[in-house]
Amino acid sequence: MAKQDYYATLGVERGASADEMKKAYRRLAMQYHPDRNPGDAKAEAKFKELNEAYDVLKDDQKRSAYDRYGHAAFENGGMGNGGGGFGFEGGLGDIFEQMFGGGRRGGGGQQQTGADIKTQVEIDMVEAFTGVKTNVRVPTRMTCDACSGSGSADKNASAETCGTCGGAGRVRAQQGFFLVERTCPTCGGSGRMVRNPCRVCAGVGTVPREKTLSVQIPAGVEDGTRIRLSGEGEAGGRGAAPGDLYVHITVRPHAIFQRDGANIFCRVPLRMTQAALGGEVEVPAIDGTAAKVKIPPGTQTGDQFRLRGKGFSVLRSTQRGDMYIQVAVETPQKLTRRQRELLEEFEAESKSYGAGSPEHEGFFAKVKDFFEGRG
């Protein structure tokens, strides 16, 4: 049975970029991975085909040879088995490992580096403006006191090389044409074994605990910011390096202010008479002070006034954003008899002498022209 074209196997065009092929392989490899399809021979066969195709096309030299000679480049002592160096190396595990990871490797086996921890802290907008120090309590794994993190009940004993993988942390098995590499089931990938495990931590070297940490949240932090505390994650197994703690910041909405980057916006409703006659209004600033804003006569809804330097600090900078006052002219909803009389007098006066409403007058002049033009 003839082999399928490698590009067709990955579902990409022959001129596909390396990134396009990587994305295609990643998607299909996850779909047909044996761990997701236990006992499915077709899925396993498809997974092998994908790895074979990607192993060739991800390498510029192999891809060039395949484009010129097709599958013949790797068969019957051709370019793939001769001095050209295009033969398959490693196995499926190596390819999949490069794509999806599988632990942080050290010189002998995989170092059991402590896992990273993620937690979330919610603050209000004023705290985001000023910066704040807060405590977070997180579940984690800490070094076992009973064995001092060695994992051994005998504190003088040291871990020995795993007899299954020889300290590599990985084992390989031949499956037909392919050599499949997996994490060692005996040592869990560490490459080391403890003969007399600690009874407290069962040989792991860490135990579950909760700890409280103080986190300094800087001024100017935005919603969705992630703060990394190096080495504050879970302790590493048997003395390995700890992971990191990632604190995700959520900023609660404010009743008065809205934020856009370093700038602050404040919507200020004005009475109709305030907007028409002009005046001065006092508005709060997020730093706790008050600012006076001069409203010129004839102010309209949507007009903006800027207060320089009244916004947020820009992270890792001495710059400050601005505050913008956004005006909304409010029409009165409940009128007394006298107020209605006054407004009716105002309307009558406006019709006789003009009310200084250029947008209103201009719009209805266009409406008149429109209807007259149609007639």
Average pLDDT of 336-348?
A: 92
> Residue 176: what pLDDT?
58
201-234 pLDDT, tens digit each = 888 888 999 999 999 999 999 999 999 999 999 9
What CATH number corresponds to the domain at position 247? Answer: 2.60.260.20
Q: Are residues 233 and 135 in the same domain?
A: yes
Q: How far apart are CA 245 and CA 232, in angstroms?
A: 5
Give me the domain span that covers residue 224: 117-146+207-251
- Going by C-alpha positions, the residue among 184, 25, 209, 207 that lies closest to residue 103 is 184
Is the per-residue pLDDT at 17 higher than 70?
Answer: yes
Q: Are residues 138 and 14 in the same domain?
A: no
> Residue 197: what pLDDT?
85
Q: Are residues 294 and 370 in the same domain?
A: no
Please tell me which residue, 327 or 36, carries the higher pLDDT value. 327
Is the per-residue pLDDT at 102 higher than 80?
Answer: no
Residue 70 placed within a domain? yes
Domain's final residue, options 191, 221, 251: 251
Q: Which helix (H) or strand (E) holds 19?
A: helix 18-32
3, 33, 62, 296 from 45: Cα distances, Å: 12, 10, 22, 77
**Euclidean distance between the first and the last CA atom of the chain, given in angstroms as a whole number:** 80
- The pTM of the full predicted model, rounded to 2 decimals, is 0.58
> Residue 282: what pLDDT?
95
Q: Are residues 92 and 128 in the same domain?
A: no
Is the per-residue pLDDT at 106 higher than 80?
Answer: no
Q: Are residues 91 and 19 in the same domain?
A: yes
Q: Are residues 17 and 44 in the same domain?
A: yes
- Going by C-alpha positions, the residue among 322, 251, 270, 263 that lies closest to residue 291 is 322
Domain's final residue, options 193, 228, 251: 251
Is the per-residue pLDDT at 76 higher than 60?
Answer: no
122-153 pLDDT, tens digit each = 999 999 999 999 999 999 999 888 888 888 88
Q: Are residues 212 and 291 in the same domain?
A: no
Q: Which residues contact 205 (CB under 8 A, 6 or more apart)?
A: 143, 144, 147, 149, 150, 151, 198, 235, 236, 237, 238, 239
How many structural domains does the chain have? 4
Residue 183 placed within a domain? no
260-298 pLDDT, tens digit each = 999 999 999 999 999 999 999 999 999 999 999 999 999
31 phi and psi angles, rounded to 5 deg: -70, -40
Q: How far apart are CA 75 and CA 128, in angstroms?
A: 64
Retrieve residue 70's tokens. 């097709």
